[in-house]
């Protein structure tokens, strides 16, 4: 069954049955946000990342939005740092960003919020491109380039970018599988 054949109630029921999150938050009539996402074994997913040297932080959430009869996969990304000079309150989120306000005020008030959207049926390459174009090229997120660790094979890996990509891909695949 193509994803666009699902209405919100059917989609929500399928995702709840698959236990992808502690609960699903419905925003208006078109968005579902997975609150307290779970790993495949049912344990809480680590949705917060912090750079070891700069203390810059990222929070990630997952959601779905029905737009023009098609389902989109959404990633809500919060960015924060220790600088208190500029902070955004949850009341300042605009449009569909408001669906993600339950996680919004974490650790510090965030400095920025990004909403990455792509078709739910998108492949891995499209997901990678969407993250690169809609997220990784943001000036505030340049610290992601210096979040580097050495993997067991001795290669330098941009671990925060890699983690975001892997979690986004894993959750997209788990959502798609739940809808089969």
157 pLDDT above the threshold of 70? yes
Q: How confident is the model at residue 50 (pLDDT cuts 50, 70, 90)?
A: confident
Report whether pLDDT(94) > 80.
Answer: no
Q: Residues 70-83: what's their mean pLDDT?
A: 87
Residue 86 DSSP symbol: S
**Cβ(21)–Cβ(9) under 8 Å?**
no
Mean pLDDT over 40-48 rounds to 88
**DSSP at 112:** E
pLDDT value at 171 more than 90: yes
Amino acid 90: pLDDT: 63
């Amino acid at each position: 069954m193509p994803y666009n054949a699902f209405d919100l109630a059917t989609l929500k029921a399928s995702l709840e049955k698959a236990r992808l999150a502690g609960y699903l938050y419905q925003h208006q009539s078109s968005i579902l946000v997975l609150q307290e996402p779970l790993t495949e074994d049912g344990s809480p997913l680590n949705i917060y990342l912090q750079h070891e040297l700069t203390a810059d932080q990222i929070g990630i959430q997952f959601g779905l939005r029905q737009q023009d009869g098609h389902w989109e996969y959404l990633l809500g990304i919060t960015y924060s740092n220790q600088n208190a000079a500029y902070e955004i309150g949850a009341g300042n989120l605009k449009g569909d960003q408001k669906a993600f306000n339950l996680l919004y005020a974490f650790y510090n008030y965030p400095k920025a919020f990004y909403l990455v959207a792509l078709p739910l049926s998108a492949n891995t390459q499209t997901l990678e491109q969407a993250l690169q174009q809609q997220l990784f090229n943001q000036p505030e997120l340049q610290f992601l380039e210096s979040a580097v660790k050495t993997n067991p094979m001795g290669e330098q890996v941009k671990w925060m970018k890699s983690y975001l990509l892997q979690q986004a891909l894993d959750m997209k695949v788990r959502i798609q599988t739940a809808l089969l």
